[in-house]
Amino acid sequence: MFSQKDSNAESRLSGQDRVARNVPETAVEEVEEPLSATSPTASQRPSNPTRQSSRNGVPTVASSLRNGSNSHQDTPTAPPGRFWTDEDGEHHHFLKHAKRQEKLRDILRTFLSGKERENHEEQPLSLMNSWLDQVRTEKNKMAADKSGGPNATATLVQKYGKCQEIVGKGAFGIVRIAHKPDPNDAKHEQLYAVKEFRRRPNEDSKKYGKRLNSEFCISSSLRHPNVIHTLDLLSDAKGDFCEVMEYCAGGDLYTLVMVAHKLDVIEADCFFLQLMRGVEYIHEMGVAHRDLKPENLLLTTHGALKISDFGNGECFRMAWETEPHLTQGLCGSAPYIAPEEYIEKEFDPRAVDVWACGVIYMAMRTGRHLWTQAKSGEEFYENYLKARRSEEGFQPIESLHRARCRNVIYSILDPVASRRITASQVLKSEWGKNIHVCKAGEEGL
């Protein structure tokens, strides 16, 4: 019944054959209803489903430019929400990172007051629960982060302006916005993201510099609408490194999903296809990311998605080579790590990236992680392995009503890496070919 589950002999065929065959030719549904015994089948649904705006998220500022983002742009009159579809059937995004941060602060205050703490502890797979754990971890580092910013050199200030507000934190360090007056218009300014890197424990200056230069060499060589544009790598007066990137005013996918709880079908599909295009490109360039997760997917105001943070990236194939090198070692964030990383000595890093994309899509659609880690003995992952072999299937994936979509997700989340489909095959699947990307996503603006 389900062509991509292990119960079907076709799961042993190549990924593209498995996606293309035995898939019902149903129209792509743009609004999905909760699955119930009385839900109509695909053939009973109206041919032109009602398109609805989603208002439970939040909107934001300027779109990214290759030489920075302009902080003052003409804004259309009152967008109806963070996401909507116009009369011509085109969909649009309006994402505002600042307002989303305000809502997250409200959520954190509520949690710290004890009102929602018990509820969160009962939901170990929720993205919100993971975020609160991260907040606890980062709490001790906040005071140091707020104390100042990089020891600004003349070069940094002259080229990119003064670093001001913090817009992101992580194990790597923090990200601030640099404000530079526009030389052509004194009323406007250009915005850049400046990533300040922490040194790892017991990391000397030589290893620290080598690590940062390696990341910069990878990220600065990539040019694609769905990959962050890295502009510069500078060291400050203390010898600490700062990486300068284009500023994405829409924030990151992780906080968007948390605040929205889950994304609409068209919205999630748009972001997913942009992600797969970016992954296909970096794989063609011989680069694997190895730490794909919603936190590392940045958004512009109008909905372009960009892959960022190549700190764990590696080159698996040089320009003169035709065959990829296998990689080794555990890397990334637990819910997105592929199962082969736990059990294989060496594995294909491209398959690892694709696995993470499948987990990200399910997080967008459900607002939850599928498991804490895809490892033998983990309760939720074991349930998935059993369910994908059953006639009923795995409930979170089965809730994606379109068969084309389900089949691709099952193929992406194939626990056997050699059977897992590639980014290119996802894009060539019937589902992938029917996903419509917004104009901003096409152009990377």
**289 CB-near residues (< 8 Å, 6+ apart):** 279, 282, 296, 307, 310, 312, 313, 353
Strand, coil or helix: what is 95?
coil
Backbone angles phi, psi at 145, to 5 degrees: -65, -35
Interior/surface letters 259-271, b for 16+ CB within 10 angstroms, e for the rest: bbebbbbbbbbbb
195 is in an annotated binding site: yes
d(CA 256, CA 263): 9
Return the H-helix or E-strand segment holding 212: helix 205-220
**86 CB-near residues (< 8 Å, 6+ apart):** 92
Active site residues: 291
Tokens of 291: 């730490």
Contact 438, 95 (CB under 8 A): no
| Torsion over CA: 186, 187, 188, 194 (sign) | positive
Bin 51: left if φ > 0, else alpha if -120 < ψ < 50, else beta.
beta
Tokens of 200: 């790892």
> Position 397: which residue type?
I
> Position 277: which residue type?
R
d(CA 305, CA 27): 25
Count H helices, E strands: the chain?
Answer: 16, 13
d(CA 279, CA 422): 10
Strand, coil or helix: what is 277?
helix
Contact 3, 17 (CB under 8 A): no
Cα Rg of the chain, angstroms: 22
Annotated binding-site ranges for ATP:
195
Annotated binding-site ranges:
195
